[in-house]
A and B are shown apart, each in its own frame.
Chain A
Amino acid sequence: MNAVSTTSAERVRADLVRARSARSARESLIKGLLFLAALLSVATTTAIVVTLLQQTISFFGEVSPLAYFAGTKWTPLLSGDQQSFGVLPLLWGTFYLTGIGLLVAVPCGLLAAIYLAEFAKPKVRKTVKPILELLAGMPTIIFGYFALTFVTPVILRDVFGIPVSEFNGLAAGLVLGLLVTPTIASVAEDAMRSVPQSLREGAYGLGAGRLQVALRVVFPAALSGIVAALILGASRAIGETVIILIAGGQSPSMSLNPTGSFQSMASFIAATARGDIPQGTLKYETIFVVGFTLFCVTLLLNAVSTRVVSRYRQVYE
């Protein structure tokens, strides 16, 4: 009797242990699978860096880094003496057009954000905010088409009478600004909305007006988020390809005059790499060098943004 009950108890315990170990085996298998999925994003980064670096190193085996970083002529597709690999014109095109864009997008985006966060009625905000987000996600090819077929011929030539060429940096830059305005407005508005109400009420209690509250209390309090919004906008403009490819022209330039043609790093890559470009040539390698430069620029901006946010963030409550 006694012996029987011990064996059955033992059997039950053995069953339990077996069930638990089968269960925990399944549990750790699942955890392992999920971890593998997470590793894929690390693998992506590694693949990007490795492919870019590989070709970049091979490129610098043939072209001196000095000629690349300090050269003022970018003509990699020509041959013989005409060929030159100075990246400065591409960097200039990228930053100059981004600058034109930000000249439009920063005031427009920030003023729109201040309006939505501090002045607009809840109803207005609830309708405008989703529209902003929709616009921020519009395909950039449509913006490029707009720049080419409307901004250049109608706005710049007919309305303002500026003698721009068919492909020009001004139209591309302005439309770049239009593209990033909704992004800046939306992200900066989020930052300002997260400033606690008590700060506003305190300022009102001390006799401040609405404008003073918006500009001297809410704006500084949300500064870290606002700077992050601006960097995000700049980074989108720097990486934007098709608008400049379509409307900005395809010849690099270091001119200050925005009515001529420009090329950016991203638009050079898209103009040159079309799938049919022969592998292993210097021409093929230029795509990777320029891609690596662009990658580093955006990585740097992202690092600055993270630093700014973590350093100046105000934590409430």
Chain B
Amino acid sequence: MTGQRIADSALRGMRRGERTNRRALIFDILMYGAIALALVSLLALIIQTVVKGAPDLSLQFFLNFPSRINPANSGAQSAIVGTLYLMLLTAVFVIPVGIATALYLEEYADKTRWWNRMIEVNIQNLAAVPSVVYGILGLAFIVRGPLGLGPVLLAGGLTLGLLVLPVVIIVARESIRAVPPSIREGALALGATKWQMVSRQVLPGARAGMVTGIILSLSRAIGETAPLLVIGAASSPRFNPSGLGDAFTALPIQIFSWTQDPNPVFVNQAATASIVLLGILLAMNGVAIVMRNRYEQRW
């Protein structure tokens, strides 16, 4: 009787083992299936863009302006130049403001004060605001209203700058926090003032993380379409902006307006412009990685 019971329970144990194995197998299949699905789709996205866009990718595409009359000789010079200018403007605005805010919050702010806590919560919330809402802000506040700049390059750069500012602040704070307190204490003990300590020890120590984070934020900025659409970037202009007060376009806007075109030649050129945009983003990511390796500090 007891022997029978032992045998039964052993058998049950084995069955349970089998069931666990089967469950593990099912889970493995699900897991690898899901990953494969996601990877294959994302791969399809990139391959499809390259296949459609590559035939038009030539030096002409970089040098010519968009043309309705002569679609075969159409290019994206104004959009490429516009994107590079936008990147520069955004950087000029966001780097000093972002780093200064991060330094204030990490090195100077007294966390027990309500206004400093409010600034922190505010930045977290700003990071979650959809980009199209920044477009509305740009339209109502920068293009029209108080600043009234019109839909010009400077307005685009400021709008994108405000959009990525919270992200820049967050990454800058993280890299400042990574500098160990002993470095600060050492500097202060040697008689440095607070600003000497911050500017000569903390900032250089946090350089690697900051540079990488800022480059990645800028690459996010130049990929944005919605805010530029809303503030009224020009579509397919045949000129480059020559100053801050000129009308402009950017690669995402050019891609969008070609996508909307009934002529299939232009729809394919949207893919060509996408390749150029992806190329710029990849290059920026590459630079970010090089910078990280070059300036990385081990404490």
Contact = CB atoms under 8 A, between A and B. Distances in A.
B84 interface: no
Contact of A241 (B34, B119, B131, B232): B131
A112 B41 CA distance: 14
B128 to A, nearest CB: 4
Contact of A141 (B109, B144, B194, B223): B223
A182 B140 CA distance: 33
A133 to B, nearest CB: 8
Contacts of A112: 31, 34-35, 38
Contact of A145 (B108, B109, B194, B259): B259
A239 B41 CA distance: 22
Contacts of A301: 128
A172 B141 CA distance: 31
Contacts of A182: 38, 42
B274 A31 contact: no
Interface residues on A, range: 35 or more
A49 to B, nearest CB: 10
A41 B126 contact: yes
Interface string B132-149: 111111011101110000
Q: Which of B52, B132, B194, B271 has the most CB of A within 10 A?
A: B132
A114 B195 CA distance: 45
B278 A45 contact: no
A273 B230 contact: yes
Interface stretch (B2-10, B20-28, B60-68, B181-189): B20-28
Interface residues on B, range: 35 or more
Given A27-B195, A44-B162, A142 B141 contact: no
A145 B100 contact: no
Contact of B23 (A42, A143, A211, A291): A211
A251 interface: no
A149 B166 CA distance: 34
Contacts of A41: 101, 119, 122-123, 126, 165-166, 169
Contacts, number: 234
A235 B128 contact: yes
B31 A114 contact: yes
Given A38-B104, A239-B130, A294-B132, A275 B34 contact: no
Contacts of A139: 223-225, 252, 274, 277-278, 281
A159 to B, nearest CB: 12
Nearest to A105: B38
Contacts of A144: 259
Contact of B130 (A37, A134, A145, A266): A266
Contacts of B128: 235, 298-299, 301-302
A299 B121 CA distance: 12
A148 interface: yes
Contact of B129 (A48, A114, A185, A210): A48
Contacts of B49: 142, 145-146
A284 B11 CA distance: 74
Contacts of A202: none
A185 B260 CA distance: 32
B259 A246 contact: yes
A35 B101 CA distance: 7
B236 to A, nearest CB: 14
Contacts of B259: 141, 144-145, 148, 246
B159 to A, nearest CB: 11
B162 to A, nearest CB: 5
Interface in B34-69: 34-35, 37-38, 41-42, 44-45, 48-49, 52
Nearest to B93: A40
Nearest to A154: B48
Q: Which of A112, A149, A275 has the most CB of B within 10 A?
A: A275
B101 A279 contact: no
Interface string A275-306: 11001000000011001001100110110001
A275 B139 contact: yes
A181 B105 CA distance: 32
A80 interface: no
Nearest to B271: A145
Interface of A: 23, 26-27, 30-31, 33-35, 37-42, 44-45, 47-48, 51-52, 55, 107-109, 111-112, 114-115, 119, 134-135, 137-146, 148-150, 178, 181-182, 185, 209-212, 215, 235, 238-242, 245-246, 266, 269-270, 273-276, 279, 287-288, 291, 294-295, 298-299, 301-302, 306
Interface of B: 20, 23-24, 27, 30-32, 34-35, 37-38, 41-42, 44-45, 48-49, 52, 96-97, 100-101, 103-105, 108-109, 118-119, 122-126, 128-137, 139-141, 143-145, 151, 162, 165-166, 169, 193-195, 216, 219-220, 223-226, 229-233, 252, 255-256, 259-260, 267, 270-271, 274, 277-278, 281, 285
Q: Which 7 A-B pairs have the closest CB atoms?
A: A275-B232, A239-B130, A139-B223, A37-B100, A34-B104, A241-B226, A111-B34
